[in-house]
C-alpha cells in the first residue's frame, strides 16, 4: 500500500511502453499516440474557430437582412399603385400572424415542440426584433443596481421556437409496461392545454391585447413615417428605440446606467440633426411638406417599440413565449384591419380604390416577391440566423453588429431606390453617427459597468461570504 494507487493505479506516461505496437514512436522519437492527440486537438481548435467565424458571419447576415426592411417598404410605397399606411400595416401584420402561426404549428407537431416558456418570444418584424436585441441589457426585468449584466439573447428575435414536450416514440407514463405512445401528436397537443387554459382565464389574452396595442401603434406610425421620408433616415431614426428603453426602465423603478443616460442625450441630439437635414431625404415636393410629421411618426414609433420591448420582457418570464408572440400578432392583425376599416369610413370609392391597389400589388410579380421577402428574409431567415449566431457570440458583441443595420439599409436603399431621395447630407450623417455611437454606448457601456460593479462587489465581499460562495 506504499505506492500511490496500488493495484488500481493507472500507468503514467513515463511508465508506458511507448515502444509497444499500440503506442509506437514517430521518426523524430515522439510517441505516436501523443502526436495523434495533439493533431486531434489542433483540428478541434481549428474547427471551433471556423464555427465561431460562421456564427459571426450569421449575425452580420442578420444585420444585412434587417437592413433590407425599410427599403422594401419604401419600394412598395413608390409602386405605381402605392398602398396607404393603414393597408401596408395590415398586410404586414397579417403576414406576421401567418408566419408565427405556422411556427406554432411546427412547434406543436415537431418532436420536442410545445413552445415552452424557456423559449424567447419571436417577432417577424425586423425593426421590432432589432430594437429588442439592441435593448436587451436595458429591458431585462428585475434589473437593479449591482445586478449582473442582462446579456444573452434578444427578447424578440432569437432562439428556437420549441420548448420541452413529448417526443415521437416516447414512453407513456403510468403504463404497465414500456410501450411507445400511441398518439405522439395528441400528447403534444395535450401539452398545449395549459396554454389554452391560460387563454380562457384571460392571462394570455390580456398580455396579447396589451402587446398588440403597443405594436400596432409602433408599426402603424412606422408605416406613416416611411410613407413620406426616406428609408435611409427612417433606419437611423429607428435606433432611438434603444435610447428610449432606458427611460421606460427607469420609470418602472429599475436601475439605469450612467452610460445609458449619456446615450439618451447623444441620441436626442443625433435624431435632431437627422431631422433638420431638410435638403435630403424628402420623397418629393408633395411629401416634403409632410416630412416633419414623418420624422415625428418614426421617433414616436420608437417609443412604442421600446414599450413593447419592456412589456414583452415582463410577460415572457411568465407565459409561454411562442403562444405570447402568436397572441400579440393576432391582436395586431385585428387592430390593423380595424384601422383599414376606419380609414375607408364605409366609402364605396375607398373600397374600390383599396381593391384596385390590392389587385395591382398582387398582380405584380415584383411586388409579390417584395412582400414575400419582407416575411421570409428580414423576418424568418433573420430569426434563424440570429438564433444560430448568438449561441457562440456574446450579447455585447452581437449588439455591436446589430447597430450597423442602418448602414446596410442606407446602402441598399441607394442601390435599389432613387439615390437622390435616399441620399443624406453632412448634417444628417453627423446625426447618424451620433445615433450609432449612442446605441453602442447604451448596449456595450452598460455591460462594462456591470462587470466593473461585479468585480468591485467581489473585492468588498467578506472572506466568510467568499468561502460560502
Q: Return the domain boundaries, the chain.
A: 66-164+202-451
Are 267 and 240 a contacting pair, CB within 8 Å?
yes
The cell numbers describing 173, all together, are 407514463
The cell numbers describing 458, all together, are 467581489
Each residue's pLDDT expressed in tens, for the chain with a length of 469 residues: 445 444 444 445 444 444 444 445 555 555 666 666 777 777 767 777 777 788 888 888 888 998 898 899 989 988 888 898 889 888 888 888 888 788 778 777 766 554 444 445 555 566 566 555 554 544 444 443 334 333 333 333 333 333 333 333 333 433 333 344 444 444 554 455 555 555 544 578 888 899 899 989 988 898 888 888 888 888 888 777 766 766 776 676 666 677 777 777 787 788 778 877 755 555 544 455 667 888 888 888 888 888 887 787 778 777 877 788 888 888 999 999 999 998 887 778 888 888 999 999 999 999 999 988 887 888 778 877 877 777 777 766 777 787 788 888 888 888 888 877 777 778 888 888 888 787 777 666 655 555 555 555 545 545 544 455 4
Within 8 A by CB and 6+ apart from 239, the residues are 134, 267, 403, 406, 435, 436, 438, 439
For residue 6, what is the DSSP state?
Answer: G
223 φ, ψ to 5°?
A: -65, -40
Distance, in Å, from the CA atom of 381 to the CA atom of 109, rounded to the nearest integer, reads: 21
Q: Is 436 buried (19+), middle (13-18) or exposed (0-12) by CB count in 10 A?
A: buried
Distance, in Å, from the CA atom of 395 to the CA atom of 185, rounded to the nearest integer, reads: 36
Angle value at C-alpha 75, between 267 and 406, nearest 5 degrees: 25
Distance, in Å, from the CA atom of 125 to the CA atom of 388, rounded to the nearest integer, reads: 18
Within 8 A by CB and 6+ apart from 217, the residues are 301, 304
Q: Is 467 helix (H, G, I), strand (E, B) or coil?
A: helix
Distance, in Å, from the CA atom of 150 to the CA atom of 437, rounded to the nearest integer, reads: 20
Distance, in Å, from the CA atom of 126 to the CA atom of 99, rounded to the nearest integer, reads: 13
The cell numbers describing 360, all together, are 395591382
In 3D, which of 64, 120, 72 has the Cα closest to residue 375?
72
Are 55 and 393 a contacting pair, CB within 8 Å?
yes
Angle value at C-alpha 262, between 264 and 250, nearest 5 degrees: 60
Distance, in Å, from the CA atom of 117 to the CA atom of 206, rounded to the nearest integer, reads: 17
Integer CA distances (angstroms), 283 to 81, 225, 298, 352, in order: 16, 11, 15, 26
DSSP string, 222-286: HHHHHTTB-HHHHHHHTTHHHHHHHHHHHHTT----HHHHHHHHHHHHHHHHHHH-TTS-B--HH
Distance, in Å, from the CA atom of 115 to the CA atom of 321, rounded to the nearest integer, reads: 6
Within 8 A by CB and 6+ apart from 280, the residues are 230, 421, 423, 424, 425, 428
Integer CA distances (angstroms), 392 to 49, 52, 53, 59, in order: 11, 6, 10, 11
Amino acid at each position: 500500500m506504499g505506492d500511490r494507487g496500488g493495484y488500481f493505479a493507472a500507468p503514467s506516461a513515463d511508465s508506458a511502453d511507448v515502444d509497444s505496437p499500440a503506442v509506437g514512436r514517430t521518426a523524430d522519437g515522439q510517441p505516436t499516440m501523443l502526436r495523434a492527440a495533439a493533431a486531434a486537438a489542433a483540428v478541434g481548435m481549428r474547427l471551433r474557430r471556423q464555427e465561431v467565424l460562421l456564427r459571426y458571419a450569421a449575425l452580420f447576415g442578420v444585420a444585412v437582412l434587417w437592413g433590407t426592411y425599410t427599403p422594401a417598404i419604401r419600394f412598395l410605397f413608390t409602386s405605381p399603385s402605392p398602398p396607404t399606411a393603414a393597408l401596408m400595416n395590415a398586410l404586414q401584420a397579417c403576414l406576421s400572424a401567418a408566419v408565427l402561426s405556422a411556427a406554432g404549428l411546427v412547434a406543436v407537431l415537431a418532436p420536442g415542440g410545445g413552445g415552452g416558456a424557456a423559449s424567447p418570444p419571436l417577432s417577424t418584424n425586423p425593426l421590432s426584433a432589432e430594437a429588442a436585441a439592441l435593448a436587451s441589457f436595458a429591458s431585462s426585468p428585475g434589473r437593479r443596481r449591482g445586478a449582473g449584466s442582462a446579456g444573452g439573447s434578444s427578447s424578440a428575435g432569437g432562439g428556437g421556437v420549441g420548448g420541452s414536450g413529448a417526443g415521437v416514440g416516447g414512453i407513456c407514463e403510468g403504463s404497465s409496461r414500456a410501450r411507445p405512445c400511441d398518439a405522439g401528436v395528441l400528447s403534444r397537443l395535450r401539452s398545449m392545454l395549459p396554454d389554452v387554459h391560460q387563454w380562457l382565464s384571460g392571462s394570455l389574452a390580456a398580455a396579447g391585447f396589451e402587446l398588440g396595442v403597443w405594436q400596432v401603434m409602433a408599426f402603424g406610425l412606422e408605416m406613416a413615417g416611411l410613407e413620406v421620408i426616406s428609408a435611409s433616415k427612417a433606419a437611423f431614426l429607428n435606433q432611438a428605440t434603444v435610447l428610449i428603453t432606458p427611460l421606460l426602465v427607469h420609470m418602472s423603478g429599475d436601475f439605469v446606467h450612467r452610460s445609458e443616460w449619456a446615450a439618451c442625450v447623444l441620441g436626442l441630439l443625433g435624431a435632431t440633426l437627422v431631422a433638420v437635414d431638410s435638403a435630403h431625404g424628402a420623397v418629393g415636393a408633395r411629401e416634403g411638406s409632410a416630412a416633419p410629421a414623418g420624422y415625428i411618426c418614426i421617433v414616436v414609433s420608437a417609443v412604442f417599440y421600446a414599450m413593447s420591448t419592456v412589456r414583452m420582457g415582463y410577460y415572457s418570464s411568465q407565459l409561454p413565449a411562442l403562444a405570447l408572440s402568436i397572441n400579440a400578432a393576432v391582436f395586431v392583425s385585428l387592430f390593423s384591419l380595424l384601422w383599414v376599416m376606419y380609414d375607408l369610413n364605409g366609402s364605396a370609392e375607398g373600397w374600390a380604390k383599396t381593391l384596385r391597389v390590392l389587385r395591382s400589388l398582387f398582380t405584380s410579380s415584383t411586388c409579390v416577391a417584395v412582400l414575400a421577402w419582407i416575411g421570409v428574409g428580414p423576418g424568418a431567415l433573420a430569426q434563424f440566423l440570429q438564433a444560430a449566431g448568438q449561441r457562440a457570440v456574446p450579447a455585447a458583441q452581437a449588439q455591436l453588429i446589430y447597430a450597423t443595420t442602418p448602414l446596410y439599409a442606407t446602402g441598399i436603399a441607394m442601390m435599389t431606390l432613387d439615390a437622390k431621395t435616399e441620399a443624406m447630407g453632412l448634417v444628417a450623417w453627423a446625426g447618424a453617427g451620433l445615433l450609432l455611437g449612442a446605441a453602442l454606448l447604451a448596449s456595450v457601456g452598460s455591460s462594462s459597468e456591470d462587470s466593473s460593479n461585479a468585480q468591485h462587489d467581489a473585492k468588498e465581499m467578506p472572506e466568510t461570504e467568499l468561502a460560502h460562495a
